[in-house]
Each structure stands twice: as C-alpha cells, then as structure tokens.
Structure 1
Amino acid sequence: MISIINADDRVGTCDFCETENTSIYLARELPDQFRAILSLYIPDENSNTSLIESLQKDFGLFTENVRIPSNLLKSIFQDEEQSLMKLLETNVSFQNKELLEAESDNLNDVWDNFKEEIKFVNRYHIQNTINLDKLKTYFLHESFYKEIKKGRIFFRCRVSDKNGFPCEKMGNPPIELASSGRANPKGISYLYVADSLETSMYETRASLFDYVTVGEFKLTDDIKILNLRNPKDDPIYWSEFEEIENYLIYIPFIQTLQKELSLPIRKRDKLLDYIPTQYISEFIKSLGFDGVEYQSSLNSEGYNIAIFNPKKLECFKSNVYEIKDIKLTHEIVK
C-alpha cells in the first residue's frame, strides 16, 4: 500500500491523519485492495463488533494515525455497491472463520504426519504428503522470492586456530565430507552464509577465547532466493490478488516451515530430524531457486541463506578473530 501511494507522486495534506507535505492518493481508487477482505464479513445483528473493530482485531488494519477509519473506508468504497457500504453501518461477523482456522490447523497436522512418515515409515514414496502444487503456487508468487544482485557480500564463519583458513578452505565442504544439515542431505553440499559478520559468528557457536575464521563471499552472479524469513504477510497485498482466504490458511504453515529451518542444530539432534526440512529444501531447489533465506535463531537481527549452487559465490577475503565475550540469556523450561 505504501509503495502504491508513494509511486503516485502526489504530495499534499492527508484528509484522514492530517499529515502535511506527504504522499497522498485518492481513497476512491483503492477498493481493489480491500474488496476481498471485506467480503469475509457479513452483517450480523447478534454481533457486538463493528467492521472497523473486526479489521483492527483480525488483520491489524487502521490501528495507527487514522483518526476516523470509518470515514476512510466510506471514501474508499463511495463508488461501490451499497452492500459493502452497509457493512459500515452495522455490526458484523467473520463468515467461515472457524472453517478457515480448521483448514489452517489441518495443514499443520498434515505437516506433523508427513514428518513422522518420512522419518520412520516411508522415505521416498510418501502417503501423507503435503500439497506441493499449492505450495508451489505460493512459493512462485512474487511475495516469496527476491533477487539478490551480483556483488552482494555474505559471510561464513568456521572455528579455527590462530592461523585461520585461507579462502579456498572457507567454501562449502566437498561432497564426501558434507554432513546432514537443516537444508542439505548428507553427501549434497550447500553453502550456508549469513547476512553479517556478527550473524556468522553466532551461527558457529564458538566458545570463549576460540579463534574463528570468517570468509567474505561475493556473489558472482544474480541469484533468486525463496524468502521464508519475511514474505509479504500484508493482508491488503493478498486481498488485491483475491487470495485472502488462502493467505489465512497458508501463512501460518509457511511460518512453521521457516521456524523449523531456523532451529539451531544441537549436539543431541538426530539426523532423522533434518529429513523433513531437507525434503522441503529439495522441493524449493526443484522450482529453480538458488537458495532459501531464513531467520537466524541465534541472532534476532540477522538471517541465513542456504545456497544450492555454491559456485555463484566467491570467497575473496578471510580474517581470523578471537572470541572475547559471550552473552548468555536463559529461561526456565522445566
């Protein structure tokens, strides 16, 4: 929505928040962005919630700046059919909400069943598979992929001695040494890189006074990455594409996938635990992506990328660091 308004090059005073000298846009030109969201609601005399209150609660819309959001919605839909305008004049209920939530919960149940089967029952001919066709539709949508241009710098860290490793030792391991990871099966070598020096050090989990070598990698070609870290979960965006119901069903599931890819590898982990996310990563690779981006679980400000084709990055510099301080936080789990 911000990009739509800013792209119009009109500047003035907003009629709804009274901000001066800001980008403005005619409200009546925006119904396509909201129509599918409003179609989720029906008038309900037994409800005690207005449309505005429902939009604020269910989607986080109109929670800041807009002083009288009902006036804004009326302006957006002033040229539309009266049925939509009537929603603003009565209390509403979210039709099919329980059904959509049930479908979303069922999708996570399917994922749990899939994980159990692929780990303990069937490895290659799976019965409880997830709907890959539907997942493909989402992953290939522009909200989930991003292009990273040639020349971008990423980082990889390895525990070393004081002499460190040269650049040629900082890449992905040879296939005979490639152990199982969250994204790669054993024997298939990916390059895991981080967005920053700090994130790469966190991911290595070096101990106090350890020496680490950090390699800096430069992209030698443009790459297309599946962005599981922060896909566009803006309901207005999905409403415009008339995908709002699927958004409500699939976004929680995709967030689950991202969390599982982000889980730190622990010493007590079993290799079987990685198989479900390896399967998803192989599927992502089959769609033509060069890698998958996911949140770092060890540095909340950072992220990692599993690169499927390491030849698209070149290590051009390596430096040795000594770990001088480690900050630990903790919470009781039992």
Structure 2
Amino acid sequence: MRIVDTTKTCVWMTEYGNFAHHVKVKQRYVWDQKTREFLDKVKAVLIEKEKVLQKGFHLFRAQIGIEPLDGEHPPRPFDKDRMIPNAEYVGDGRANSRGIPVLYLAERVDTAISELRPWRGADISVAVFEIVRDLRLIDLRIQGPETHGNLWVDLNGNSPSEDVKNKMTLRSVSDAFSMPVNRSDNAIDYVPTQIITEMLKNEGFDGVVFRSQFGGANVVLFNSEDAKALSCTPYQVEEVTVAYKDIGPIRLYDKGS
C-alpha cells in the first residue's frame, strides 16, 4: 500500500476555504499579506477567462410577483422600474454588498425562474434585457474532468504543478459563485465572492458569468445601465420537481429513544 503525504498538496485544496474563513470572521476590509497574495493569484487566473458579451444580446431577469389583480385586466407583470435594482432596497448578494446594485440576469427563462426557488402556483414576472454595448466579462464556467476537485491528489507525494494549482483556484472560485443561494443565508457568507467581484470591477471588467445549479448560466453586470429592459411577461409556476438519490446507509434508531 502506498502512503500519500498530503501535507503539501492539500493546502491548495483548502486555500480558498482559508481565504473565505479569514475575510468572514477575522479581517475583511484591510487585507493582510496572505490575503493579498491569494487575491493576486485569483486575479492572474481569472483574467485569462475574459470573454466579450456583445451588444444586442438578450438575457432574462425574474422577480417573484406580478401587479395586483383588479378583476378588469388580465395578469400583468411588474413595470420596468420594479425589474431594475434600486440601491435603496438592494440587499447583500453573492456579487454585491448591501446598497450596491448590480444586475443579476440569466441566459434562459427557466434558469431565471429557478434561481428564485419558487413554489407551485407562484406568479413570476420575467423581463427581457438587451445588452447596450460590448462588455468585458470573466467567464467562471469550467468543463471537463481535468477540473475535478480531487486534482490535488498526487500519489507520489509531490506538490501539484502550477497548471493544476491554477485549475484548482478557478474551480474553487467557480463553485463559490455557483453555490445555490438560500433565503436563510447569512450575509457574511457572501463576503468572499463580494471581495472577488470588487477586485474584478476595479480591474475594469463589466461583470461575471457563472454556472447555474439549475442549468444554463447566470450573468451579473456590475453596472445596471449596461442592459435595458425591453419587455416583461407574467408566468405562473406549474410544477416544482426534486430528483434525489441515496448517499449512505439507513441509520436505525433504538426503539426506546
């Protein structure tokens, strides 16, 4: 049996986790040297993932709710002002801090609706937005088996190559952005990705693209004026399905407990 020394290699697997923990509970606004070094590494990796979102491209934004029914008109979606984020009401999100509006969009209608975690029968307003100029985005989507999170394992006990380290950094950041958001999430959980977003914004990028856990992709634009609302349609959710599988054995409890 081969014994693997992971004392060197596992540090790269936990590097993002260490960064996230540090900025959430120790030091957030003034970074220490270790945090700066990690963010410099993230920046160097991410700028290689630049893509252009062309003027005229259409994306979708969903909000739970429609205009109140009055008995005289068919169901109507929210008006345009309701579909555009207002700094006065903006809360914390994975790509923004409270009070700083960004535009969360999706490439498909079903993705936009699913990101809301709606219930059966929920009324949804879905607006079509058009990109008004060519935008520089960072594409955080990754594909292929070479990006699997276990790349850090080295059966010879050697430190991973720079290429593997970079793929792991990209994977960690990508997973952090793609992780589903729950209504019960603590705002502190968004701090790591908020910091990375601010860094990219400071570098002159206009937004990020990341994989949705519900299929398709999400797009965040740092400036809400980079897209204009063209139309809005009212929808109602007909079904909400859940697929699942066993991941472990059944646990039996004592009858007397």
Q: Is the 8 A contact 2:76 2:233 kept in 1?
A: no
**Equivalent position to 2:112, from 190, 200, 203:** 200
Query: Structure 1 residues 204 and 226, CA, compared in 2 at 3 Å: closer, same or farther?
Result: same
Q: Take 2:102 and 2:109, find their aligned partners in 1: how far apart are those partners?
A: 19
Aligned residues: 223
Residue 263 of structure 1 corresponds to: 179
Amino acid at match of 1:133: D
Q: CA deviation at 1:136?
A: 2.4
Is contact 1:233-1:251 (8 Å) kept? no
- Indicate whether 1:228 and 2:133 are aligned: no
Q: 2:61–2:127: 8 Å Cα contact kept in structure 1?
A: yes
Could you say which residue in structure 2 is the equivalent of 1:218? 130
**Aligned partner of 1:284 among 183, 187, 200:** 200
Per the alignment, residue 234 of structure 2 pairs with 320
Assess, with a 3 A threshold, how the Cα gap between structure 1 residues 267 and 234 changes in structure 2: closer, same or farther: closer
Contact 1:104 1:250 in 2 (8 A): no
Greater mean alpha carbon deviation, residues 247-256 or residues 309-318: 247-256
The residue aligned with 1:293 is 209
- The match for 2:80 is 167
- Normalization by structure 2: what TM-score? 0.79
* Mapping 1:1-334, distance limit 5 Å: 105-127=10-32, 128-129=34-35, 130-141=37-48, 144-161=49-66, 162-171=75-84, 173-230=85-142, 245-297=161-213, 299-300=214-215, 302-331=216-245
Deviation at 1:285, TM superposition (A): 1.2
Work out which of the two has the higher radius of gyration on C-alpha atoms and give 1 or 2. 1
The structure whose RCO (Cα within 8 Å, separation 6+) is larger is 2
Q: 1:104 to 1:187 in 2, by over 3 A?
A: farther
Mark the CA change 1:254 to 1:145 in structure 2 (over 3 Å): closer, same or farther.
same
Asked if 1 retains the 8 angstrom alpha-carbon contact of 2:16 and 2:172, the reply is no
Change (3 A) 1:319 1:140: same
Contact map agreement 1:104 1:249 (CA 8 A) in 2: no
Tell me, yes or no, if the aligned pair for 1:199 and 1:303 is still in contact at 8 Å.
Answer: yes
d(CA) in 1 for partners of 2:39, 2:242 = 40
Which amino acid in the other structure matches residue 218 of structure 1? E
- CA gap of 1:333–1:179, structure 2 versus 1, over 3 A, is farther
Residue 207 of structure 1: how far off its partner (Å): 1.0
Q: C-alpha displacement at 1:114, in angstroms?
A: 1.8
Residues 224/250 of structure 1: CA separation in 2 closer, same or farther (3 Å cut): same
Q: Any gaps of 5 or more consecutive residues in structure 2?
A: 67-74, 148-159, 249-257
Note the C-alpha offset of 1:213: 0.5
State percent identity of aligned pairs.
Answer: 26
Equivalent pair of 2:42/2:169 in contact (CA under 8 Å):
no
In the superposition, relative to structure 1, how do residues 278 and 153 fare at CA in structure 2: closer, same or farther (>3 Å)? same
Distance in 1 of aligned mates of 2:231 and 2:223: 20
TM-score normalized by structure 1? 0.62
- Distance in 2, matches of 1:103 and 1:226, equals 30
Give how far 1:261 is off: 0.7
Higher helix share: 1
RMSD across aligned positions (CA): 2.5
Q: Structure 1: 5+ residue runs without aligned partners?
A: 1-97, 236-243
